Chain A
C-alpha cells in the first residue's frame, strides 16, 4: 500500500541524447546501481530545455528536476550546452528568489562514457531531495487536476 512506504522523491531527468542519455545507458549496461526515483526524458540537446519544462514538472508534482548535458566544448551541436548553462543558472537563482529550494533544480555534465558519474549524480540528487522533503509548492485550493493528483500522492 502506498501509505506503508516511506515517501520517495520523484525526480525528472532531462538528458541530452548524445552524451548524458548515453551515459545513463552505460550505467545500465554496466549494471551500476542507481536509485529508481528518476524518470528520464530524452532531449536532443540540453539547449533544447526551456525552463518552462522545469516549472511544469514542479507543477505536476515532481520533487526535483535534473538537467544533464555534454561537457562544455563537447556539445554535439557546438554551443547548445552553453545556452543551457546560462538558462539553468539564472533559472536556479530566480526560482530560489521566488521561494523554491534551489536544490530542486540540479544540473550536471555527464558524457557518454561516464556511466559511473551518472549513477553517482542521481544518488546524490535523490539524497538531497529526501532532505528537502516532498514538493507541496503548487498544492492549494482550486487545484488544477495535476496538483490534485499530486496531493493524493
Chain B
C-alpha cells in the first residue's frame, strides 16, 4: 500500500482529485418501500468521508448496494470508472472495495492471524493441485501470507493475540481485527460501518486517533458510518447526511452542524455543536 502523506485531510489538500466512487441516482426498493432514493455520492481518492443520519436512513443499505450484497433497482454505482451495480460481492471485493460490519462478522473459530490472512488469500495464490501436493510454490505463498498478516496485525496493535481464537477477543479488539482484515484485502476504498459502536468516550478518543493515523499512513479512501457524533465531526472533513433514504445535506462539519434541516431531522432540539454522540 502506498504511503501517501496526507497531512491535512481537507479536500483541497489531497494528492489527487480523482473520483474513486460515485453513485448516480442510486435507489433500491423493497416492495413499496424505497429504502434508498436517488442518492448521489462522490468519494474522492484519499477522502475520509462521513455518512450520518438517523436509524433507518439507509446508510448501511447504501454500503450493501456498493459492496454488491444488494442489487440497485435504479441508478448507477461507478468505482474507478467501472459500473459495479449488480456485480457479485466477491468480484467487487477483489476490485478493491472492502468493509466492516455493523454486527461484527469475524470468523470466530479461526485464529486472529487466520482472520486477517483471509483478506490476503481470498483469491488463492496457487492452484488446487499445488495445494494438494504441497508444492514449493504453495509453501512459500503460505509463509508469505502469514508474514504479511502479522504485519497487518502489528499495524493495528493486535500482534500478541495472533494465535487466539477471534471469537475470544474483547469487543473493542474484535472491531480492530475486522478493520485489519478488511485492510488486508488491499482495498482502494474502505467502508466502515459503525466501527465505534458500543465504545465509551475514552475508547472513542483512542479510536479516533487510531483511525486518523491509519488514514494518514495509508492514504486509503474511507467512508465511515457512525452514530458517535464526536468521532465523525473530529475525523471527517466532509460529511453526507441521510434521512429516509435521501441525501439531506453535504458539507464540512461546521456546515452540517448549522444546517437547520439536519438539526431538525437528526440532532434534535440541541443546537449546540454535537458532543458525546447519543445513538438516535
Decide whether A and B assemble into one complex. no
A residues with CB within 8 A of B: none
